[in-house]
Structure 1
Amino acid sequence: MSVHFLEVESTDVDASALGLLLDAPAPPVLAQLVIETVDGALTLGVLGASHVVTARSQGEVLTEQVSCDAVAAGGDPLPRVEVVGPYEFESTTETVDRAEFDTAAIRLKGRASEEGWICGAFPGDESALTVLSGSSAGQGWAWQSWHLYPGEGTGVIVKTSSRWNP
């Protein structure tokens, strides 16, 4: 894949506003990557408000939305850990100095050319990114996301890791 330079302002500008919403209809995406296997598909979608993932396997479907809209739509504030049946989720939030932040953004943009990766770049700051990667995992799927929030002299990186094996 590649970096998708998005022509819209991000509506997700504050890491503390992120939430997690499961099994709701997927909102429209700005960019997406579909990974298919004989047993299912994983759709990684970049939103103006962060990301949505739809996983399909063996006739089952799971939708994960991590966004600033998730709480208002019935989700919960972003947890550090969430386990619901065969679904596992973890998140970390880290504030780093701007040099480290920009280095992380460059590294993640570089990974966007790899199979199973997608990157959405937002206008206003070349380090304002939403990046996702995914792969099949047994009979299910595993995926990660990085949400980069640039600031004055620092930046906030929210990383999530999810696994679903129905």
Structure 2
Amino acid sequence: MLVTLDTPYVDTNAADLSLALDDVERPALHVLDLALPGGVGLRLRLLGASHQVVLRAPGRALTETVACLPGRPPALPDALHDENAGYRFTATVLRPEGSGLTDRVAALRADLTDDPYALVGVFPGDVDAVTALAVRPDPPAGGLAWRTWHAYPQTNELVLTETVVTLR
């Protein structure tokens, strides 16, 4: 699902992002609620300061926030693996050359616009200023996975994240 957001662009660059787990639900600009097999509910939330994913499943609850968070120092880890909690997160910052960012964002929009398990928010002022979230259609056995993309055209950065959660 592609949505045009009616709000000022808040994030400034990848270095301003941080990861928070089990944070409160923050005010959202747009929400996509997904009902998945096995009683799994997933809420994809576009924030004025990036994204939030809320997972509710039998015996499992998780809120993942990647955003510029007030009162929290910016610190987006490259990787966070907690096998006991069944949570794995990775983040990569790309700085494409030339028209690379524009090309990647255009491909992302084309791939995800009609995907019922994806949400793409375009911020006003620049078609390349997007935040996108997508649930993987082929989750790992006993788990759930999603990816996110945060494009910052003013700094020519694209932040990619991937999360895998064990549901058993």
TM-score (norm 2): 0.88
- Asked if 1:149 is matched to 2:152, the reply is yes
Structure 1 gap ranges (5+): none
Equivalent residues in 2 for 1:121-132 (5 A)? 121-132=122-133
SS in 2 for 1:88: strand
Aligned residue for 1:106, secondary structure, equals: helix
Question: How far apart, in 1, do the equivalents of 2:4 and 2:11 lie?
Answer: 16
Cα separation, partners in 2 of 1:27 and 1:46, compared to 1, 3 Å: same
Q: Which has the higher strand share?
A: 1
Q: Relative to 1, partners in 2 of residues 1:31 and 1:98: Cα closer, same or farther, differing over 3 Å?
A: farther
Does structure 2 retain, via aligned residues, the 8 Å contact 1:57–1:140? no
State the Cα deviation string for residues 35-83 of structure 1 (Å, max 9, x = none).
212321111111110000001121321000000117x24x761000001
Determine the structure 2 residue equivalent to 1:117: 118
Equivalent residue number for residue 82 of structure 1: 80
The count of aligned residue pairs is: 161
User: What is the identity percentage for the equivalent residue pairs of Structure 1 and Structure 2?
Assistant: 31
Distance 1:8 1:78 in 2: 24
Is 1:161 matched up with 2:162? yes
For residue 32 of structure 1, what is the aligned residue in structure 2?
Answer: 31
Aligned residue runs from structure 1 range 11-26, under 5 A: 11-26=10-25
Question: What is the one-letter code of the residue matched to 1:93?
Answer: V
SS at match of 2:28: coil
Equivalent residue for 1:7? 6
Give RMSD over aligned pairs.
Answer: 1.7
**Closer, same or farther: CA 125–114 of 1 in aligned 2, 3 Å:** same
Q: Which consecutive segments of 4 or more residues in structure 1 shift more than 6 A?
A: none
